[in-house]
């Protein structure tokens, strides 16, 4: 035993390796935030019964739970359209953003010409664009996907450009000494360097795309969680409104979590991202 220890010391040398490990959320670390959430729900339930708040203004957690279980089939039926719109919008918006970022990094003129346009589009409030797109494309999936795409597009464009350009000067000089082609620099260096930045924005985009799909459904649709929210509000079915909100939140959280999981599998190295 002692011999193997000394052997290892010799090969490693006395220089201490800097070993940093990313902390994984363990059950113990999760317990505290879960406790806080359970506590808040208890306070909410207590407040509703103590102050006698009418159900149509604020339903109690128990009432929300009842509505959730009674309307489960309907809620799920309306979750699918919103999920499809969010995911397709997310995919479209990010794909265009990534391709544009690659173009910008290789062709500065395109960046100078198109970046201000992108910033301008970004400044238009999404609720103002939604009706325009609904009028243009009708009641189907198209306007919802486009709005979800639009809302997830911008953060990824900005971060992806930043990520592709985050390669330090010496690494670029190294590749020049090695006579690497532009394509090799892109695929072997820039793409990897951009991944931590990309995932940082994908996580933002995951939540945003759900917001985009729901807002688009408010404007004009016959199905989806956004449609359900509008219906429940007009009918003063407040427990159903809360139940819908809960389903939408869980969907967004799962989407976010999935991206985080993929990030953990892909980005295995230590990256310092200033996103």
Partner 1 sequence: MTDISTATLASHQGTGAVTLENVTVTFNTDRGRVTALQDITVSLPEHGFVSLLGPSGCGKSTLLRVVADLLDPSAGDITVLGRTPEEARKSRELGFVFQDAALLPWRTAIENVRLPFQVGGGARGEAESPEKLLELVGLKGRENAYPHELSGGMRQRVSIARALVCRPRVLLMDEPFGALDEITRDRLNEELLRIWEATGTTILFVTHSIPESVFLSQQVLVLSSHPGRVRELVDINLPYPRKLEVRDTPEFTAIAAHLRRLLETC
Contact positions toward partner 1, by CB under 8 A?
8, 11-13, 15-20, 168, 170-171, 173-181, 184, 188-189, 192, 195, 267-271
With respect to partner 1, which residue has the nearer C-beta, 73 or 178? 178
With respect to partner 1, which residue has the nearer C-beta, 21 or 108? 21
Closest contact distance (angstroms) between CB of 9 and partner 1 is 11
CB 126 within 8 A of CB 150: yes
With respect to partner 1, which residue has the nearer C-beta, 53 or 180? 180
With respect to partner 1, which residue has the nearer C-beta, 52 or 168? 168
With respect to partner 1, which residue has the nearer C-beta, 14 or 28? 14
C-alpha triplet 86, 90, 96: angle, nearest 5°:
145
**151 in the Ramachandran plot: left (φ > 0), alpha (ψ -120 to 50) or beta?**
alpha
Closest contact distance (angstroms) between CB of 107 and partner 1 is 22
CB 229 within 8 A of CB 240: no
* Rounded Cα–Cα distance for residues 179 and 164 (Å): 19
Closest contact distance (angstroms) between CB of 170 and partner 1 is 4
Please report the sign of the dihedral spanned by the C-alpha atoms of residue 254, residue 257, residue 261, residue 263.
positive
Nearest to 143 by CA among 132, 127, 152: 132
With respect to partner 1, which residue has the nearer C-beta, 2 or 123? 2
Closest contact distance (angstroms) between CB of 197 and partner 1 is 13
* Rounded Cα–Cα distance for residues 64 and 183 (Å): 55
Closest contact distance (angstroms) between CB of 100 and partner 1 is 24
Closest contact distance (angstroms) between CB of 196 and partner 1 is 9
Nearest to 202 by CA among 136, 143, 265, 259: 259
Residue whose pair of structure tokens reads 């279980």 in the numeric block: 69
Residue whose pair of structure tokens reads 């599998």 in the numeric block: 265
């Amino acid at each position: 035993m002692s011999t193997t220890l000394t052997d290892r010391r010799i090969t490693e040398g006395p220089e201490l390796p800097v070993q940093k490990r990313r902390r994984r959320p363990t059950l113990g670390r999760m317990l505290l935030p879960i406790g806080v959430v359970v506590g808040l729900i208890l306070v909410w339930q207590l407040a509703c019964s103590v102050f006698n708040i009418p159900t149509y203004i604020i339903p109690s957690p128990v009432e929300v739970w009842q509505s959730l279980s009674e309307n489960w089939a309907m809620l799920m039926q309306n979750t699918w359209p919103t999920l499809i719109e969010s995911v397709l919008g997310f995919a479209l918006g990010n794909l265009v953003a990534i391709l544009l970022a690659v173009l910008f990094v290789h062709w500065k003129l395109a960046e100078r010409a198109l970046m201000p346009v992108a910033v301008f589009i970004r400044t238009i409030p999404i609720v103002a664009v939604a009706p325009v797109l609904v009028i243009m494309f009708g009641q189907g999936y198209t306007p919802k996907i486009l709005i979800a795409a639009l809302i997830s597009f911008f953060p990824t464009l900005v971060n992806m450009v930043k990520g592709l350009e985050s390669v330090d000067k010496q690494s670029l000089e190294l590749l020049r000494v090695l006579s690497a082609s532009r394509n090799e620099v892109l695929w072997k260096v820039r793409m990897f360097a951009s991944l931590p930045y990309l995932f940082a924005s994908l996580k933002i985009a995951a939540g945003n795309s759900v917001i985009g799909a729901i807002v688009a459904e408010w404007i004009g649709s016959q199905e989806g969680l956004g449609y359900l929210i509008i219906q429940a509000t007009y009918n003063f079915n407040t427990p159903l409104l809360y139940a819908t909100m809960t389903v939408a939140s869980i969907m967004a959280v799962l989407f976010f979590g999935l991206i985080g999981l993929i990030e953990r599998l892909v980005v295995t190295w230590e990256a310092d991202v200033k996103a």
